[in-house]
Structure 1
Amino acid sequence: MALSGRKVALGAAGPLGALVVAAIISAAILLVTKHNPFEAFGAMGGAFSKSRVLIGTLNQAASYYLAAVAVAIGFKMNLLNIGVDGQYRLAAMLAASLAGSSLMDGLPSFVRVGLTLVVAMVVGAFWAGIAVWLKVSRGVSEVISTIMLNAIATAVVAYLLSPGRLAVQSGNNLGTAVIPDAGLVPTIAVGGSITPIYTLALLAVVVGVIYAFLLNRTIFGFSIKATGMNPAAAVASGISAKKMAVSAMLISGAVAGLVGMPELLNGPAAQYSINFPAGLGFTGIAIALLGRNHPVGIIFAALLWSALDSSSNSLQGVGVPNQLVTIMQGTILLAVVIAYEIVRRYGVGLEQREVARALAATQKQAVAA
């Protein structure tokens, strides 16, 4: 097998092996609880015969992808940005407040949308910047600071999202002012489905392309990867580890700020409320790990995670608790960590045997000469 083909095969072996292991464990759990695994998996697969489930999977995968890329950027630098969840929620709330305020009246639609996206990115970058400032100036672990900043972001959102501040009461719902049509992005209607395609799912495509180009085609991307792999060697070669840490964390936070934008500007609610999706940042960590922080790998991981979420309701039709999906997701994440290590060791062994064979062939040629 050619080297490139081997890399592709080994790269796919980890997640595929984890998926198989998760399916086996889930089937065993179903059997123990006296449920038919074939009926359960059949119901999950059959759910995708409905166009609304397929479209919902695609829309959700876009947000998952953005969250995973935000996490992956930090991972490349050996920074654990656990604060994506707080960054995107705070960014979405403040961006929604601006988009629904009278300050935006009279502006062209593309300007309003553009300003909303910029504000979200700035807020996300600012919140992530606090953590990296504490790291480079005070040596505070970004894991601790970002976890604490998640809690602070939750408190800030709760404080601001109240009547008399940035929220308005509408029945039992509490949220920011509804964004007018001029501040929203049109969706793509699909015949036969009440669920439209979010056009802002294209944000995930744009971010993915920029992420891939940045990492693989720029000196900046090389510096980030080099610093993440070996900080001492990177510093010795003239790369500023602190500068790279700040840059990576700010970019990570800016991408995190975009996570809630498809739901905010394409979703039916058109506002940030207490019902706004939460937890996407933590899901992004799992998807980044499953996709090995690779821009293409994350696509498949996000689609898989979203597909499992979308098919969970179909389990109730066959009498299986939809918590089975959560078990599968957790098992996949646990199995993939183990599978990656097994595959890595196998790949190292293959390379060592190839080197040994090459050296032996060279020695034979030298002796023959």
Structure 2
Amino acid sequence: MRKFDKDRMLLGLAGPALALVVAFLLTSVVLLASDRNPFEPYRIMVENAEFTDVQVLILNQTGTYYLAALAVAIGFRMNLFNIGVDGQYRLAAMLAAVVGASVELPGPLHVLLIVLVAMFVGAFWAGIAGILKTTRGVSEVVSTIMLNAIATSLIAWLILPANLGVQAEGSNDLTTGEIAESGWMSGLDVEGGTIYGFTFVAFALGIVYWFVLNRTRFGFDLRATGASDSAAQASGVDAKRMVLTAMLISGAVAGLTGLPLLLGQTHTYSFSFPAGIGFTGITIALLGRNSPIGIFFAALLVAFLDKASASLDQYGYEKEIATIMQGLIVISVVVSYELVRQYGLRRQQQKVGEELAAQAKKKEAVSS
């Protein structure tokens, strides 16, 4: 059994905690500079979160953010920066909605088809960046950013009535048509509303993510390749294959990001489908340090900021305060993690020095 490392656990918690404290303090400074009460918005958000309907909204949003962050984290563990989660998720949701609306199957099969289409489309779109990286050496950062823009334009073209879209009579809104009820995924009805069924699937994927990465040979190879390509190749791992595989898996998970909303509420895709979730997933993955538990709490926090801040404008505060805080969290994460890393290195050097000094003292005592 591996010995419990107290210092490692404390350092792991110190980074996110420091980032959050700094983000809250900087947000308070912004409020003070605007002649606003620096603490009142937090109190209002906490009070809003006490309503059961807001709690349901927060939990459902957490599931969506959790999937986006898992997709990003898979890339991070491979030392890949998949910035294209947003495009992968929206294109996957759009085409999955098209397929779902065009067929009618027995319930479980209908839902399964939609899920498989979403995963395939997400994997395909991320796979383009993976192939470019493994065959031409193109940075996945550049290619995934470009693919986000291409996905946006492609969706706008595909959803035209002349192609795959549907325009209801008397409406200017373009959709993919409504999925038959057999393709809906039932959720859990509670006092404040309905928790999407796919929200629970999202959290279950966190367990799968942990098990694959930490308890399988594939997960070990993936982490080893992310740590050092040359070392992984020396041990017989095909680094290029692992890069492509990681991008495909990351894209497949990204493709699932829109399914809680698609299967649980809208049952169609339209331009009102939320954008920017992939970029929020980057923030959450960084704050959660790529850990499934850390990502859950980070997703819960960001979902809380989103949903509990919706009524701030009724009290004279702009709801964009939550957006400012999220941006400050990103900056704080980068700075605080580097500070904690440097402190950890100094701490390790100090412990090694103490152990060497103790051994030298012991030898001196024995010789005398």
TM-score, L = length of structure 2: 0.96
Mark the runs of 5 or more structure 1 residues left unpaired by the alignment.
Answer: none
Q: Return the alpha-carbon distance in structure 1 between the equivalents of residues 199 and 241 of structure 2.
A: 31
Give the aligned residue type for 1:247.
Answer: T
Aligned to 1:13: 14
**2:282 aligned residue:** 285
Q: Distance in 1 between matches of 2:282 and 2:4?
A: 30
Structure-1 separation of matches of 2:166 and 2:236? 53
Aligned residues: 362
Give, as a single letter, the amino acid of the residue that structure 1 aligns with 2:41. Answer: A
Task: Output the CA distance in 1 between the equivalents of 2:9 and 2:199.
Answer: 27
The one-character-per-residue Cα deviations of 1:101-124 (angstroms, maximum 9, x if unpaired) are: 1xx22x210000001101100111
> Using the alignment, how far apart are the partners of 1:330 and 1:144 within structure 2?
22
Partner of 1:90: 91
Aligned to 1:321: 318
Listed as ranges, the gaps of 5+ residues in structure 2 are none
Contact 1:121 1:255 (8 Å CA) reproduced:
yes
Q: Within 2, Cα distance between the matches of 1:37 and 1:143?
A: 37
Q: Name 1:266's counterpart in structure 2.
A: 264
* Correspondences of 1:135-284 after superposition (within 5 Å): 135-170=133-168, 171-191=171-191, 193=192, 195-267=193-265, 269-284=266-281
CA shift digits 1:79-132 (9 cap, x unpaired): 11111111111110110011111xx22x21000000110110011101111111
Paired with 1:321 and 1:232, the residues of 2 have a C-alpha distance of 51
Local SS of the residue matching 2:310 = helix
Task: Give the letter for the 1:11 counterpart.
Answer: G
Structure 1 residue 146, shift from structure 2 partner: 0.9
| Superposition misfits of 4+ residues, deviation over 3 angstroms | none
Report SS of the residue matched to 1:80: coil
Partner SS for 2:49: helix
1:72-91 to 2 correspondence within 5 Å? 72-91=73-92
CA distance in 2, matches of 1:97, 1:146: 24
* Whole-angstrom distance in 2 between the partners of 1:24 and 1:137: 46
Residue 108 (1) aligns with residue 109 (2): no
Contact 1:70 1:252 survives alignment (8 Å) = yes
Tell me the residue number matched to 1:364: 361
* Aligned-partner SS, 1:352: helix
- Alpha-carbon RMSD across the aligned residues, in angstroms, is 1.2
Instruction: Give the secondary structure class of the aligned counterpart of 1:189.
Output: strand
Distance across 1 between alignment mates of 2:5 and 2:304: 29
Q: How many angstroms does 1:3 deviate by?
A: 5.1
- Percent of residue pairs identical: 52
Contact 1:312-1:322 within 8 A present in 2 as well: yes
Measure the CA separation in 2 of the matches of 1:4 and 1:313. Answer: 41
User: How far apart are the structure 1 equivalents of 2:360 and 2:174?
Assistant: 77
Counterpart position of 2:330: 333
How far apart, in 2, do the equivalents of 1:160 and 1:186 lie? 28
Helix, strand or coil at the partner of 1:87: helix
Distance, in Å, in 2 between the alignment partners of 1:292 and 1:266 is 29
